[in-house]
Amino acid sequence: MTASTTRAPETAASDPSAFTGLDRQGKLVFVGLMLGMFVASLSQTIVGPAMPRIVAELGGVEHYSWIATAAMLVSAVSVPIVGKLSDLYGRRWFYLGGLAVFMIGSILAGAAQGFWFLVFARAVQGLGMGTLMPLSQTIIGDIIPPRQRGKYQGIMGAVFGVTSVVGPLIGGSITDNFGWRWLFYLTLPIGVVAFAFILRYLHLPVSTQHGKVDFAGMLTLTPGLVIGLLATTWGGSSYAWDSPTIIGMYAVAAVFLIAFVIIETRVEEPLLPMRLLARPIVALSVAASFAISVAMFGAIIYIPVYAQGVMGVSATNSGAILIPLSVAMILTSIVVGLLITRTGRYKPFLVLGGLVLVAGYALLARLQYGDSQWQLTLAMIVIGLGLGLAMQVYTLVVQNAVGKRELGIATAAIQFFRNIGSTIGTAVLGTVMTSRMATAIQDQIAALPQDQLAQLQQGGGLDASGLEASVLDPSALEKLPAFLVDPIRAGMGEAMHDVFLTALPFVIVALVISLFIKQVPLRDTLESEDELPTQPGADAAAELGGTGTEPAELHPRTGSIPVVDTEGPEPRDGREPVTAGER
């Protein structure tokens, strides 16, 4: 086998310089992985513009968020489970299975005749996404050493940027011209091609770890996550944060998750090894990635809301409002990957990325009603640069810090906490927006001249909930008196200021955490030093070559090695010392 094949290169272990890049087979595998990731990430962005039409046709507008929540919950739960099982039983068939499950979910979603069947189909898609996303990055780690992995993960990061641009743009067009069902069918041909590439070209060594599956961990983690994430999603919207329902759900989730942690410290093959999170470089990378995910989804979800509600951009054009952010992230991600491969250093990019993100969110938080669109564009470009500098690098840091045996669960861990961060960020920032919007709009209206207020009173007053709804509904806004448009948009601007200001501490925390992440040399081998094969007799040779200063535990079979005087004994009576050959 060559060092650049997809079969865990043998020569790379003994001769790190042998890896010069992926061969033809490796490149085809990489193409298959990128297609799989493209399909999974596109499905998260392409449906957005069609959501109003979908719920209008199938009903269920009061449960609107479940279409996204179902996929998110199942994906978050499946990530650590699939990551661990792939470490135990190999990645190839799990990846192929995840791709197949995702395509089945797409077919079911396209054929849905009712709202709750569509929710079920999205949950099936979520299971596929929870398999594809982490395993794509894990397989890259299986076939490419960390030192060369940067440029490939840069391309991988660019895939997310491309789908965030392409998804909303083509989603609206396909919905208008062919119907929303084709949004789910569109990804099927790409999925089939990806399946064929992986089936034909990916052949990794079969894992020899076959340990006992941690069923107890699965049975405690799954309900703990589902209940906790549902409470986070419903809090502040369906129920008040201090309602007995939300508090009770968090209490039940805490019991399950505490039980999960206790179980993980005792089982032979834990689903999420606590010893992994006890390593500072892993724990810090996971924590920083979590914090950035909170802020990142705050930007992706709520910048279009700001554009529509405050600047008056149409819903059709709001899908394109994130293009500057996405393009900046795509280009920066690719360049950073190449630079890491060339220099072998990653920490400068983490710190610089954190600084740029803080600057970007500070610009975002300074926006107010009346600012021009170029000011929003500038903030988005700066945020895109920051995300491109840092987001994918955390995965590389974690993968470089663990051995091949733990590669799957380590990659899944960082993806898992990103999912949790995005869920919490979307829910918390959404609560900030809705709670602040009501009071801010009312305050702005209360500041109107007395004659305009009297005119409103003569008309029977205004429904506060109707004002909040009208800010994102141009047709409803047109029906209101013209002098109310500016106060409503200004109030929305104040609410969005609080949203972006709430996200700012998370990027500051990510920056501070990144300062403490150590720079560790990137390996040129697929295996860690502990996993590299040793030649027969190497241990004995090492022992015989000891200096006598090593601790005894380094020589378990012989104990400490006596000092060898390499200068030889002093000559006796003027004669040369006796050599072994003279005895």
pLDDT surpassing 70 at residue 267: yes
Q: Domain residues for 115?
A: 1-10+18-210
pLDDT in tens, 439-493: 887 787 777 777 777 776 666 555 555 566 566 666 666 677 777 778 888 888 8
What pLDDT was estimated at residue 523?
78
The encoded tokens of residue 32 equal 């298959």
What pLDDT was estimated at residue 549?
43
If asked whether residues 33 and 159 sit together in one domain, one would say: yes
pLDDT band at 14 (very low <50, low <70, confident <90, very high): very low
Rounded distance, CA 177 to CA 156, Å?
31
The encoded tokens of residue 545 equal 């070559």
Rounded distance, CA 188 to CA 116, Å?
22
65 assigned to some structural domain: yes
46 assigned to some structural domain: yes
If asked whether residues 118 and 233 sit together in one domain, one would say: no
541 assigned to some structural domain: no
Sign, CA torsion 256/430/292/154: positive
pLDDT band at 52 (very low <50, low <70, confident <90, very high): low
158 assigned to some structural domain: yes
Mean pLDDT calculated for residue range 60-77: 74
271 assigned to some structural domain: no
pLDDT in tens, 104-135: 999 999 998 888 899 899 999 989 988 888 88
pLDDT band at 98 (very low <50, low <70, confident <90, very high): very high
The encoded tokens of residue 538 equal 């190497």
Do 73 and 85 form a contact (C-beta atoms < 8 A)? Answer: no
What pLDDT was estimated at residue 156?
77
pTM for the full predicted model:
0.73
End of a domain among 476, 494, 512? 494
End of a domain among 494, 521, 542? 494
Question: In angstroms, what CA-CA distances link 270 with 151, 217, 409, 412, 523?
Answer: 32, 7, 10, 13, 26
Residues in the chain: 583
If asked whether residues 238 and 206 sit together in one domain, one would say: no
pLDDT surpassing 90 at residue 361: yes
What percent of the chain is predicted at pLDDT more than 70? Answer: 78
If asked whether residues 55 and 170 sit together in one domain, one would say: yes
466 assigned to some structural domain: yes
Mean pLDDT calculated for residue range 85-104: 88
If asked whether residues 131 and 182 sit together in one domain, one would say: yes
If asked whether residues 196 and 226 sit together in one domain, one would say: no
CB-based burial, 333-352: b 16+ in 10 Å, e otherwise? bbebbebbbeeeebeebbbb
If asked whether residues 30 and 130 sit together in one domain, one would say: yes
pLDDT band at 11 (very low <50, low <70, confident <90, very high): very low
If asked whether residues 30 and 44 sit together in one domain, one would say: yes
Backbone phi, psi, residue 501, to 5°: -70, -35
Q: Which residue has the tokens 């942690």?
A: 261
506 vs 436, more confident: 506
Residue type, 540: A
End of a domain among 447, 471, 494? 494
If asked whether residues 35 and 132 sit together in one domain, one would say: yes
Rounded distance, CA 80 to CA 98, Å?
14
What pLDDT was estimated at residue 561?
44
pLDDT in tens, 150-160: 778 778 777 87
232 vs 477, more confident: 232
If asked whether residues 222 and 149 sit together in one domain, one would say: no
pLDDT band at 423 (very low <50, low <70, confident <90, very high): confident
pLDDT in tens, 282-340: 999 999 999 998 888 767 778 877 887 788 776 556 667 778 888 888 889 889 988 99
Which of these, 144, 188, 227, lies nearest to 42 by C-alpha position? 188
152 assigned to some structural domain: yes
If asked whether residues 137 and 189 sit together in one domain, one would say: yes
Helix, coil or strand: residue 193? helix
What is the tally of structural domains in the chain?
A: 3
DSSP 16: G
What pLDDT was estimated at residue 541?
41
What percent of the chain is predicted at pLDDT more than 90? Answer: 19
Rounded distance, CA 103 to CA 101, Å?
5
If asked whether residues 127 and 3 sit together in one domain, one would say: yes
The encoded tokens of residue 377 equal 């564009």
Helix, coil or strand: residue 116? helix
Backbone phi, psi, residue 72, to 5°: -65, -45
Lowest mean pLDDT among 35-39, 101-105, 373-377, 567-571: 567-571
Rounded distance, CA 364 to CA 379, Å?
6
pLDDT band at 539 (very low <50, low <70, confident <90, very high): very low
* CATH number, domain with residue 86: 1.20.1250.20
Mean pLDDT calculated for residue range 560-570: 48
* Burial category of 447 from C-beta neighbours within 10 Å (exposed 0-12, middle 13-18, buried 19 and up): exposed
238 assigned to some structural domain: yes
Kindly report the number of other CB atoms within 10 A of residue 102's CB atom.
Answer: 27
The encoded tokens of residue 526 equal 């697929």
